[in-house]
Amino acid sequence: MVRSISVSLLLAFCFVTSCGQTPVGKKLIDEINTAKVKARHLSDEGERKQDEAREKGEKGDKAAHDKLMKEAAKIYEQASDTLQKAAANAKELAKLQSPPWYEEYFGLQARLLDNLANLAAGAHDELLARNNGTPSEAQVQLWKDQLNRILEENEELRKQIASIESRQGVVLIKE
């Protein structure tokens, strides 16, 4: 009897800590994790299209190059949209009152996801701009500055998120 109570308590604890406590919370967490995987696959596909475009460009096939670059830009736009939806879900989770650490954890996750969406949107914009001509030095510098700012901020956000996960003993959003 004691063993069955211990097992029941352990299962209940695991459910509460890993499932977001509510069916709505679990659903949103699952959607965020699915969106991150989808965005990662889209980003990989965008990189493959860019590589393919470079090869076509090196062979002098400008039409194929331009078409592939536009396709890559569209793929990054899809990744950005996917990450923006995930960020909106994280913002919803940050509004939950229980457990108390959700507000901070999902607030940080929302900021990270917004930044990732901005990186994908930036890749979209840069590809289209480069496909339409050579960007100015000022534009290239602005892109580099934005990229560095976002990467630095993401590093700090990841550290804060890892700290909360360590403290709580649970990882809800997969990297």
The domain in which residue 84 lies consists of 20-168
Establish if 9 belongs to a structural domain.
no
Confidence (pLDDT) at 24: 81
Establish if 175 belongs to a structural domain.
no
Establish if 10 belongs to a structural domain.
no
Establish if 132 belongs to a structural domain.
yes
Confidence label for 4 from pLDDT (cuts 50, 70 and 90):
very low
Is the per-residue pLDDT at 147 higher than 90?
A: yes
Establish if 131 belongs to a structural domain.
yes
Q: List helix spans (H) across the chain.
A: 2-18, 23-58, 62-94, 102-131, 137-168
Establish if 71 belongs to a structural domain.
yes
Instruction: Report the number of distinct structural domains present in the chain.
Output: 1
Lowest mean pLDDT among 68-82, 132-146, 158-172: 132-146
Establish if 11 belongs to a structural domain.
no
Average pLDDT value for residue range 11-23: 47
pLDDT in tens, 61-110: 999 999 999 999 999 999 999 999 999 999 999 998 889 999 999 999 99
Residues 6+ apart with CB under 8 A from 116: 39, 83, 154
Confidence (pLDDT) at 175: 85
Cα 73 vs. chain centroid, distance in angstroms?
17
Confidence label for 152 from pLDDT (cuts 50, 70 and 90):
very high
* Residue with tokens 């930044």, as numbered in its chain: 115
